[in-house]
Each structure stands twice: as structure tokens, then as C-alpha cells.
Amino acid sequence: MSDGKFCPQCGTQVNQDALFCPKCGYQFAPTDGQEAPTATPTREAHREQAATQPSPTPTPQGPAPQRSHWLTIILGVIAVAVVVVVASNVVINHKEQAHQAALQASESRVQSSKKAKESREESREAGLAKDAKGVVNDMIQNDDNLDAKCTDVTIESHDGGNQYSGYASVEDDYDDSTTIDITVTDVTYEDNVSVEIPGDQEDKLSETFYSNDD
């Protein structure tokens, strides 16, 4: 290439008749008889041109769509509402269970107290019936002078206070028997009982049994 020429732009030696530099793309002035060719940049020229050109400035993006922001808010509100509903149900169920337990405990105490009272009343009535039996027997044999005896006293009802109603079973040795209505009073301050036999019941005894004087 002694007969070549140098590119005035990059200093690369090229053929004498070269129309442009193969390295940088510099276009030489045509000599006599040469037509000016359409410049075809080489790969190196493209690279240098690309290196010298400023990189495109990225287009700034606008703010994120508002829909995503509102969706997040809505989901958060729904989550809070679900938590509140679940917590409310738990509290309500706990209160209801506690209320039911309290009602059951109260009912159990009432029933226990009622049974205890009934038991005490039954025990008291049994004691009154036992004591009244001796009183009725004494009234029949001593006051009425009848040849009979009281075999049992049954308390049927509590008339209020210390007074009770019931009946006495009476019989004699001749297979005669009857029952008479009586009123039993618990004389607590004397620790005994009193028995009242109505007049019609006294007549019933006299008609059923023999007198000891007979």
C-alpha cells in the first residue's frame, strides 16, 4: 500500500482510489474520472456514530393508576370488617354461654333449696303425725272413754303457720274401724302438739265404737 493514502480523520491508510475510509466512514473527495458514491458507512462507523449519539432520555412515567390504591383500601376495610364481625361473634357467644351457665346454676340452687325445704317439711310432718297419734289415742280413750285406739295419723296439708290438716285411723278389738278428720297444731314453744277433733267426727267415733262403760 505504498501508493495508498491516509484518512485525514482517523489516520487509517487506504487505497489510493478509495472513496471513503473503511474504518470511520470518512468520504474522500473524488479524483478525476470518479463519481462520488453514495456513502455506505462501515460497521465501525456505525459503532462510532452510535457512541457519539446521546442515549435517548427515558420518558417519565405518570403516577400509578388510582384504581390499585383504592383496591388496597377496600381490601383493608373488608379485612377489618371481617375481624370485627368474628370478634363480635366470639364475645356474644361467650356472653351467651356465661348467661346460660348462670341460669343453670341459679335453677340448680333453687331446686336444691326447694328439695331441702320439702325434705325438712316432710320430716316435720312425720314428727307431728307421730306425736299426734299419741294425743288422738289419749283423747279417744280418756276424753271420750271409748274402747278403741288410734293406729295412725296422716298429715295431708299445711294450712299455714303451725297448723296442719289430716286424718286419724281408729280401730278396736272387734274389727271395727274408721277414719276421722283432725287438725294438728305444732305448739313449738311447748315442744308438743295439740289435736282438734271436730264435733261431727266425735259423733262418728261414738257411733262406731263401744264405750268403756258398756
Nearby residues of 22 by Cβ (< 8 Å), 6 or more positions away: 12, 14, 42, 44
- Reference 180, options 150, 141, 158; nearest CA is 150
For residue 159, pLDDT beyond 80: yes
For residue 127, pLDDT beyond 60: yes
Domain assignment present for 180: yes
Q: How confident is the model at residue 1 (pLDDT cuts 50, 70, 90)?
A: very low
Domain assignment present for 196: yes
- The DSSP bridge partners found for residue 166 are 155, 182
- Reference 139, options 150, 127, 125, 126; nearest CA is 150
Nearby residues of 152 by Cβ (< 8 Å), 6 or more positions away: 129, 133, 168, 169
Domain assignment present for 203: yes
Domain assignment present for 115: no
115 vs 168: CA distance, rounded Å: 27
Phi/psi for 109 (5° steps) reads: -65, -40
pLDDT at residue 188 in the model: 81
For the chain, what is the domain count? 1
Residue 161 is part of which domain span? 125-208
To the nearest whole number, what is the mean pLDDT of the chain? Answer: 84
For residue 10, pLDDT beyond 50: yes
Q: What is the mean pLDDT of residues 152-175?
A: 94
Chain segment 38-47, per-residue pLDDT in tens: 545 555 555 5
What are the respective helix, strand and coil percentages of the chain, to the nearest 5? Answer: 45, 20, 30
CB 167 within 8 A of CB 151: no
186 vs 128: CA distance, rounded Å: 7
- The DSSP bridge partners found for residue 5 are 14
Chain segment 17-29, per-residue pLDDT in tens: 888 888 888 888 8
Higher-confidence position of 115 and 32: 115
CB 154 within 8 A of CB 133: no
Domain assignment present for 100: no
Which helix (H) or strand (E) segment is 51 a member of?
Answer: helix 43-52
191 vs 162: CA distance, rounded Å: 12
Chain segment 39-95, per-residue pLDDT in tens: 455 555 555 555 555 555 555 555 556 778 888 889 899 999 999 999 989 999 889
Model-wide pTM > 0.95: no
Q: Is 99 helix (H, G, I), strand (E, B) or coil?
A: helix
pLDDT at residue 39 in the model: 47
Q: How confident is the model at residue 214 (pLDDT cuts 50, 70, 90)?
A: low
What is residue 140's DSSP assignment? I
Domain assignment present for 189: yes
Three cell numbers written together for 36: 462520488
Domain assignment present for 144: yes
Domain assignment present for 187: yes
